[in-house]
Structure 1
Amino acid sequence: MTTPRTRTVWTFVITSLAAFMVSLDNLVVTFALPQIRADLGSGLEGLEWTVNAYTLPFAVLLLIGAALGDRLGRRRIFTLGLTVFTAGSAAAALAPSIGVLIAARAVQGAGAALVLPLTLTILSAAVPANRRGAALGVWGAVSGLAVALGPLIGGAITDGAAWQWIFWLNVPIGVVAIPLALRRLDETRGPSTRLDLPGVLVGAAGLFGVTLGLVRGEGHGWTSTPVLASLILGGVAVAAFVAWERRLEARGGQPMLPMSLFRNRGFAAVNVATILFSVGMFGAIFLLAQALQNVFGYSPLEAGLRTLPWTAMPLLIAPLAGPLSDRIGGRPLLVTGLLLQAAGLAWIAATMSTGMSYSQMVPAFTLAGLGMSLFIVPIATVALGSVRPDQQGLASGTNNAVREFGGVLGIAVLSSVFASRGGYGDPEHFINGITPALWVGVAALVAGALAGLVLPGRPTSAATPATADATTTRPILEPAAI
C-alpha cells in the first residue's frame, strides 16, 4: 500500500519531470534553427514560426490551464496536456516540411500550457504546508535548470544526432510519465469557475493576427493587403478582447484577464517592463544563436556552450539576488538588471563584425546574463506585491503570459529589422542585419528600465509560493525564462 510520504515523493518526481520537459522546449530548438532551415528549406519567416508557434498558444492558454484542472480534475487535465505535448513532439520529429513542423510546435505549446501551471497546483496540494516552500523551491530550480540548459542540450543533440532528436527526446519521457501520473497522482479539484471561452478565442485571434502581420511584413511588404489585413483585424480583435473582458468583469463574471488589474500602477508597470524585457532578450537570442553558427562557424554544441555565461548565469546569481531583493526591494534589482542587459546587447551590437573573437563576446554575454538574473529573481515578488492577496494567483499567471507574448513580439520585430537591413547570405550580410536588430533590443530594454522606475519602492502586500493556497486556480510561481 502506498504511504502518504511515498505518494508525495511520486508527485514531486512526476511534476518536476513534466515541468523540466515543457520548460526545456522553450529554448531547446533555438540552436537547431540553422539545421532546420537547411533540411526543410525554410526562410526566416518559417524559423520565426517554428519558435513562435510554441510560445503563442502557450501564452494564451496558460491563463486557463489551472482553471480547467480545477473544473474537470487536475490529474485529468495534466495527463491530457502530457498526451498532447508528447503527440506534438512525435509529430515535430516526423515533420517532412516546415509547415508540418510549425503545426506540431503549436500542438506542443497547447499541451505545455495545460501541463505547466498544473505541475505547481498538484504539487502544492500534495505537499504538507510546512514543507511546501522547500518543495516549490526545488521545483523552481528544476524548471530554471531546464531553461538554462536548453541551448546546450539542443546544440548537443543537433550536433551528435540530428535536430529531430530534440523532439524524439520528449516521447519516451511522456510515454513513461503519462501512466505514472494516472497511477500515482491523486485526482483533485479546486473551486469550480466558469471558463471565459469567448475571451480565450478572441484574445488568441488578436494575438495571432498581430503576430502574423509582423512576421510577414518584411517579406510581403508592409503595405500589402495580407499584411495590412492581419494587423488591422488582429488589432480589432485585441480591442474586442479588452472590451469583452471589461464587460464581463462589470457584470460580475469571471474574465480570463480582468482589466481592472491594470488600473494598478505597480501591476501595469511591472507588466510593461516584463514585455519589453522579453522583446529584447528573446529577439536577441533568436538571432545570436544563428549568428554564432552562420557567421562565426561554431557547431550547434559549440554555440550552446558559448552562450552559457548568459543563459546559465541565473543559476549562480539567484541565490544571492533573492536575499538582496528582500532587503532593498525588487525595483532597484529589476531596473539595474534591465540596464545591464541593455549594456550587454549594446556591447555586442557596437563591436559585432565577421572577425569578432569569442573572447570579445564573453564580457557582453556575462553582462547580459547578470542583468537577466537580477531581473527574473524579483519579478514574481514585485508582480504579486502590487495586488491584493486574493488577486495574486491571477497576477502571476498574467505576468507569465505577458512574458511569453513579449518573446513572440521580440522575435517578430527584431527579425523584421534583421531582414530589412541584411538577412541570410554571406556573413557580412548577416552582420548588416543583426546589428540594427540588436539596437532595437537595446531600446526595448532601456524602455523597460524606465517603466520599472514607476514601480513603488516597496511592495504593498506580499505572498510567497510557500504560503499560497493549494487550491488557487492560477499559478503563483512559474520558471522564469528568456
Structure 2
Amino acid sequence: MRSGSPRLYGVYLGGLLGPFGAGVVVAMLPELAASYGTSPAGAASSLTVYLVPFAAIMLVSGTLGERWGVVRTLRFAYAAYAATALLALVAPWFWLFLTARGLQGAANAFITPLLLAQLAAVTPRDRLGRALGLFAAMQALGHTTAPLVGGLAAELSWPWAFAGIAVTALALAAAPLPADPAAGERVDWRSVVRPSVVPGVLVLVGWGCLSGLSFLVAFRLEDVFELSSGPRGLALTVFGAAGFLTARLSGAYADRFGPVAALATGLLGGGAVVAVLGLAGSLPVLVAAWAAGGVVAQLISVGTNTLVITRAGAARNGAISVVQALRFLGMACSPLAFTGLYHADPRLAFLVPAAVLVAATPILVRAR
C-alpha cells in the first residue's frame, strides 16, 4: 500500500496526536497552576502522569491489541483519548485533571505501537524505512507544535487546547484504517521480548542521552546565554523542526544501507552532538548542534523501529510496544540521571551521555 493511500492518512495523523497531547501542557503550566491554585511544580506533574502509564502499559499494549483486533483497539483508543481530553477540559479539581491526563497516556499506549505495526504490515520491505521515517516526521511535528499551540490557547483559555485534541481524536476514530493483517499464531511473552532486547536497550540509551536532554539545553540557554523563556522555547523547537524535515531522508538512509547502519550513525552522531552542546561557547553553535541532534535522533528512531520490525516476525506488535515503552522510559530517566551532574559540572552533564552514546555502538555491532 502506498504512503499516499487514504487509509494511511489516519495512521500518520495518529502518530502526531500522541506527542502533541503529551507536550501541549508545557507552555501552559503557569495558567494551569493559577487555575487550580497549585504550584508550578504541581502543574508540571501533568506531564509526568501522562508519560508514566503511557510507558508502562506499552509493555503489553501491542500484544493485547493484536489479540483484541488492531483496528477495533485503535478506534476504541481514539475514542477514549477524546473522552479523557474532554474530562481534562471540564475538570473542576486538579486531582481530576491529573486523572484525566493519566488516562490519556494510557489510551495513547494503545495508539502509537499499533499504528507502527499497521504501517509495517502494509508497507513493502524495501520501502519500510521511508514509511517509518514519515511516521517519525509526524511525531516530531507533534512534539514541535504542541508547546506553540498550547501557548496560543493559554493566551485565550487553556481548555481550548483540549477541545481541539478531543475533536481531532474523534475524527481519527472515524477515519479509514488498513484492515487487520491475517491472523497468525499466538505468540508468547518470550517471543515478544527476545527480538526487542537489543533495539530496546539502544533506543533507551539514545532517547535518554539525546532527546531527553532538552531540559539541560534549556538550563544552558539560561545560565550561559541568559535567554528568557520566549527565545529559549524558540531555540528548543529547532530539534523537532530539524527532525521533521529530515525524517524521510533518515528512512531512505535505512532502506539503502540497512537499519543497523542507520542506528550506528545515529548513536555516533548523537555522541558528537551532545559533546558539542556541552562545550559550545557560542549561541549559534549550540542551536545548530541541537538542530543536528534532531536529525540524528530520527536515525536512531527509524533504525530501531526498522530493526525490531524486521526481526520480530509474528511477534511484531508486542515487540514494537516494548521498544516504544523503553524509549519513553529513557526520556523519563534522563532528568534523574543528569541533573545532579549538571549542578556539579555543566560540561560533565553533557560529556557523560555523549560517551554513553558512543559506547553503545559496539553493542549494536556485536549483536548484529
Q: Report how far residue 185 of structure 1 moved.
A: 4.6
Where do 5+ consecutive residues of structure 2 fail to align? none
Residues 343 and 453 from structure 1, CA distance in 2 versus in 1: closer, same or farther, beyond 3 angstroms?
same
Render the CA deviation track for 1:317-339: whole Å, top value 9, x for unaligned.
44555555645923552233222
The match for 1:451 is: 360
Where does 1:74-113 land on structure 2 (aligned, <5 Å)? 74-113=70-109
1:381 aligns with 2:303: yes
The match for 1:274 is: 203
Residues 193 and 150 from structure 1, CA distance in 2 versus in 1: closer, same or farther, beyond 3 angstroms?
farther
**Counterparts of 1:454 and 1:285, CA distance in 2:** 25
Aligned residues: 360
**Counterparts of 1:16 and 1:298, CA distance in 2:** 31
Which protein has the larger Cα radius of gyration, Structure 1 or Structure 2? 1
Where does 1:275-354 land on structure 2 (aligned, <5 Å)? 275-281=204-210, 283-286=212-215, 296-299=227-230, 303-321=232-250, 326-327=256-257, 329-330=261-262, 332-347=264-279
Say whether the 8 Å CA contact 2:85–2:166 is kept in structure 1. yes
Residues 388 and 324 from structure 1, CA distance in 2 versus in 1: closer, same or farther, beyond 3 angstroms?
closer
Q: Give the CA RMSD over aligned residues.
A: 4.1
Structure with more contact order per residue of length (Cα contacts < 8 Å, sep ≥ 6)? 2
Aligned counterpart in structure 2 of residue 24 of structure 1, from 16, 20, 25: 20
Where do 5+ consecutive residues of structure 1 fail to align? 196-252, 352-359, 419-432, 461-482
**Counterparts of 1:98 and 1:362, CA distance in 2:** 40
Say whether the 8 Å CA contact 2:251–2:302 is kept in structure 1. no
Residues 346 and 324 from structure 1, CA distance in 2 versus in 1: closer, same or farther, beyond 3 angstroms?
same
1:368 aligns with 2:368: no
Say whether the 8 Å CA contact 2:150–2:161 is kept in structure 1. yes
The match for 1:228 is: none
Render the CA deviation track for 1:164-222: whole Å, top value 9, x for unaligned.
333222011123333x24xx457636537769xxxxxxxxxxxxxxxxxxxxxxxxxxx
The amino acid across from 1:377 in the alignment is L
Aligned counterpart in structure 2 of residue 175 of structure 1, from 170, 173, 185: 170
Residues 280 and 25 from structure 1, CA distance in 2 versus in 1: closer, same or farther, beyond 3 angstroms?
farther
Moved more, 379-388 or 166-175: 379-388
**Counterparts of 1:154 and 1:256, CA distance in 2:** 41
TM-score of the pair, normalised by structure 1: 0.61
Aligned counterpart in structure 1 of residue 146 of structure 2, from 145, 150, 154: 150
Where does 1:247-262 land on structure 2 (aligned, <5 Å)? 253-255=188-190, 258=193, 262=197
The amino acid across from 1:68 in the alignment is L
TM-score of the pair, normalised by structure 2: 0.77
**Counterparts of 2:105 and 2:350, CA distance in 1:** 25
**Counterparts of 1:380 and 1:27, CA distance in 2:** 21
The amino acid across from 1:113 in the alignment is A
The match for 1:410 is: 334
Residues 18 and 454 from structure 1, CA distance in 2 versus in 1: closer, same or farther, beyond 3 angstroms?
closer
Q: Which of the two has greater helix per residue?
A: 2
Moved more, 382-391 or 45-54: 382-391
Residues 192 and 86 from structure 1, CA distance in 2 versus in 1: closer, same or farther, beyond 3 angstroms?
farther
**Counterparts of 1:45 and 1:315, CA distance in 2:** 30
